[in-house]
Amino acid sequence: MPKLLPRLLRRPWTAAAAALALVISAFVAMPASGADPASGCRVDYTVNEWTGGYSAQVRLTHTGSALSGWRLTWTYDGDRQVTSAWNATVTQTGHVVTAVNADWNGEVADGGSVDFGLQGTWQSAGHAPTDFALNGVSCGGDGTSPPTTPPPTTPPPSAECGDAAVCEDFEDQTGPAPAGNWRFTAPDCQGTGTAAVDTEVAHSGTRSLRLDGRAGYCNHAFVAAAADLSSVGPVLHLRMWVRHTTALPAAHVTFVSMPDSSQGGKALRIGGQNGALQWNRESDDATLPAQSPVGVGLSRPLPTDSWQCVRFAIDTTAPGLDTWLNDEQVPGLHADGVPTQDVDQQWLSRTTPPRPVELRLGWESYGTGDDTLWFDDVVAGSSPVGC
Ligand code: CA
C-alpha cells in the first residue's frame, strides 16, 4: 500500500531536541557578598520537545548552608510559555519563569538535589535557558552561547509522526509546484485557482503549501497527498496548521476534501458556511452543524492572518466525528450516535460510517468567496497528534 515516509517537522535549532534530550548545566561558586563563599547551585535542565510543545525536567543541586525554601528563576529568549508543572509552583511573567518549591521539597541540605518538571508551548523556541538564579543569586550561566549538543547529521524520527500515513512539513519541496508526495488536482473543471510551494510563509521551517482559491466552482484547486488512507483507522486523525486571508464567507466553501469510498467516492469535506466552520457530505449535501442560527453559533469562525491548528477525528466504524480548533473542541462540529437538533440531526440521517481514502487540501467555492490559504505540518494517521 503506498504510504508516505514519515517526514520530520524540522526547525533549525529545535529539531535536534525532538529526540535529543538537551542538558544545560550551570554551576559556579556564588561570589555575591554576604553569601557563603562555598555555596553554589547547579541546574540540569533537560528538555524534550515536539512541534509546538515541550516538557522539561529540572534538577537543582545546591551546595552550602541548607535551604529552607527555594526559588529558581530563568529567562526564555523565545516565546516558550509554561502551562503546567509538577513538584514546584511555576509561574511565568513575560519571558521570566519563576519556580518555587512545593510544600514537601523546600528543604535542601548541603549537596542535596531537588527535581521538578514542567510542560509548555512554543511557536518560536529560542535557546535553552542558561541564566538560572537561586533565591536571587545567579547560578553562573551568562545567557549567551548555551552549551548545546550540535544537531545530529541524520535527523531523528519525529516523535509526533509515528507511523502516520501523512506527515508533511513541505520542507523537502524543491520547486514552486507541489511535487513528490503531492500533486495538483482540479477534479471537476479547471479555472483560475492555483497551488504553489511558498517559501515566505511557513508554520515550520521555510516552506508551506499555498492555495490561491477563487470564487466559482470551476476555480477550485486542490493538492492531493499520495498516501492511501483507506486502511487508516479505526479512527482517522488529522492535524494541520492552516492560515488564510479572508474570513469564511456566507456561501459554502471547502478547504479539505476527502474522497469517501462509503459514498461512492463523493467527498467528505470541511470548509465553511455562514461565516463558520462546517462539515459537508458531498453525496447528500448534509452539513454539520445544521445551518440554523443556533447550529452556526455552535461552530467557530476560522480566524484570519494567523496560523490556526485544526484537528479532527473521523470514526470509520460508527457515526462519530469530532473537531478541534486550537485545542478547543467545537461543539457544532461534533457528531455522535445521538441526533442533536441544530447540530447532527441531519448529518446522522446517513448511517454508513465514512471511509476517507485520500486527503486533498485546497479551496473550492460553490458561490462567492476568494481566499488565499497556507497549509503546513499536516499529519494524518490512526493516532491523534496535538497542536
Ligand atoms: Ca514547513
Q: Residue 74 belongs to a domain with what CATH number?
A: 2.60.40.290
Is the residue at 195 inside a domain?
A: yes
Q: 294 and 169, same structural domain?
A: yes
pLDDT of 273 strictly over 90 = yes
Phi, psi angle pair for 332, to nearest 5°: -80, -10
CATH number of domain containing 316: 2.60.120.200
Residue 11 domain-assigned (yes or no):
no
- Residue entry with cell 555575591: 32
Q: Collect all residues with Cβ–Cβ distance below 8 Å to 101 and sequence separation of at least 6.
A: 69, 70, 71, 88, 89, 114
Separation of 30 CA from ligand 1 center, angstroms? 44
Please tell me whether residues 234 and 169 are part of one structural domain. yes
Q: How remote is the CA of residue 11 from the centroid of ligand 1, in Å?
A: 9
Task: Name the band, by pLDDT with cuts 50, 70 and 90, for residue 260.
Answer: very high
Confidence band for 25, pLDDT divided at 50, 70 and 90: low
**Coil, helix or strand at residue 15:** helix
- Distance, in Å, from the CA atom of 43 to the CA atom of 313, rounded to the nearest integer, reads 41
Nearest residue to 295 (alpha-carbon basis) of 321, 245, 332, 330? 332
- One domain for residues 74 and 177: no
- pLDDT of 217 reads 87
Give, for 296, the enclosing helix (H) or strand (E): helix 293-297
User: Is residue 110 located within the same domain as residue 37?
Assistant: yes
Asked whether residue 299 falls in the same domain as residue 356, the answer is yes
Is 230 contained in some domain?
yes
Q: Is residue 300 part of a domain?
A: yes
End-of-domain residue from the set 110, 138, 166: 138
Question: Are residues 263 and 327 located together in one domain of the fold?
Answer: yes
Ligand 1 center from residue 90 Cα (angstroms): 32
- For 291-308, letters b (16+ CB in 10 Å) and e give beeebbebbbebeeeebb
- Domain shared by 263 and 165, yes or no: yes
Indicate if 84 and 162 belong to the same structural domain: no
> Within this chain, do residues 219 and 97 fall inside the same structural domain, yes or no?
no
Last residue of a domain, one of 109, 138, 167: 138
**211 and 126 in one domain?**
no
168 alpha carbon – ligand 1 mean position (Å): 8
Question: Ligand 1 centre and the CA of 243: distance in Å?
Answer: 13
Task: State the pLDDT at residue 187.
Answer: 85
Same domain, 176 and 295: yes
Domain that holds residue 200: 157-381
Please list all protein residues whose beta carbon sits less than 5 angstroms from ligand 1, which is an ion. Answer: 169-170, 202, 204-205, 207, 376
Q: What is the mean pLDDT of residues 63-79?
A: 89
Domain for residue 243, yes or no? Answer: yes
Residue 130 located in a structural domain: yes
| Cα–ligand 1 centroid distance for 375 (angstroms) | 8
Give the pLDDT confidence of 325-367 residue by residue, as tens digits: 998 999 999 999 899 999 999 999 998 999 999 999 999 999 8
Between the CA of residue 76 and those of 82, 122, 144, 215, what are the distances in Å? 10, 11, 12, 44
pLDDT at 259 over 50: yes
Q: Ligand 1 centre from 291 Cα, in Å?
A: 34
Cα of 178 from ligand 1 centre, angstroms? 13
Q: pLDDT tens across 180-212, in order? A: 999 999 988 888 999 999 999 999 999 999 999
Q: Domain count of the chain?
A: 2
Rg, C-alpha atoms of the chain: 25
Looking at residue 11, what is its pLDDT?
Answer: 37
For residue 66, the CA-to-ligand 1 centroid distance in Å is: 49
Whether residue 129 sits in one domain with residue 206 = no
In this structure, the number of other CB atoms found within 10 A of the CB of residue 28 comes to 12
Residue 13 maps to a domain: no
Q: Work out the pLDDT band at 12, boundaries 50, 70, 90.
A: very low
Q: Is 184 within the bounds of a domain?
A: yes
